[in-house]
Structure 1
Amino acid sequence: MRLRNKPWADDYIKEHTSNVEQDPYDRKGNWQSIFHKEQPIALEIGTGKGRFIEGMATYNPEFNFIGIERDKNVIVSAINKIKELTNTKLVHVNARDLRDMFSENEIDRIYLNFSDPWPKTRHEKRRLTYYTFLEQYQSVLHNQGKIIMKTDNRKLFEYSLVSFSQFGMKLEDVTLDLHALEDETNVMTEYEEKFSNKGQPIYRCIASFQ
């Protein structure tokens, strides 16, 4: 569904400098300096309206969280959710290469939540688990860093498992029905709740570089 355009979004983003990093490319190698505490950094690619990053930052105060969201009409909702959190920052960019924004080993976790599946074969290179993206993740992730992926799309999930394996990654956890586990630590996204309420299984994979 197409989101309604918010003509005031650009100004709103610029006004909230304490929540949205305005010059993310200038922060490369120095992201810890914008947080109150120096601690491991978790990155969510595609933050959406911010439900997930708000929940994760609240329940995991021992981590700093950065949420990347390219849609200005969506990130304004996320801003309102994380206003009171000192361990969370948002970035409004279309991050084509994370290596332009982060130094080697600067990130400890990457979350890929309900990413666009790009189902057509000719769009394979746009999938966030295509090998060129894995190269980026490998560069910015700490040696013990993990990628945690959730999706409702079975084909994307299967594609990603193959992509991870072919890249030489270790699959630490593969779950075909996340909510059947009744994992109390799982923080749902807006999409996750929507799809789960429809009875669709939620798939999760935790992978790391060896």
Structure 2
Amino acid sequence: MSSISRRNFIGASTTAAVGTALTAVAATAEEKKVSENDKLNIALIGCGGMGGGDLRDHLKTGETNCVAVCDVDDSHANEKANQVEEHSGKRPDIYKDFRKVLDRDDIDTVIVATPDHWHALIAISACQAGKDVYCEKPLATSIHEGRVMVDAAEKYGRIVQIGTQQRSAEHYGDAIDFVKSGKLGKIRLIKAWAYLDWKGEL
């Protein structure tokens, strides 16, 4: 895969596929050698399991600098700061208040991986502060919140992507069509499980 410039990266982020592409790059390619001037400065807001996974994927691309982490839990924030420092040799600043992160002029993009009820407020505030946003699913806790988030992205000309790439993959649609076709017969019981070690039994 060819190197993605800072400008092209931001443009490409408008598509739902970019999250999947980043993950694929992180999983299959060595870290790229990108000029420091071309790297995106990112901040992680919400340093739990999902935020940690997002951070790892972004660091592995070699195209970002994580300059700040934010969490109300000191242990989570320090764990992610240690992860960044181990990877890049630079320790990001640590915050408890996301508003202080958004006040910084050197941050291009924020990853919002907080508990769900914080997504809308932080994403809207980030747009107002001139930051692009990668927000973990779910987008919001209500239709109204979602509409306000879209309005904010449009008003401030920001890129906002939601981490729901898997549901857009073609094979999920194929599976849905197969179930709807009736070829499985009458479904009486469904069992679900997660094959990743950070998920418990459902």
Q: Quick check: which one's helix share is greater?
A: 2
Q: Quick check: which one's strand share is greater?
A: 1
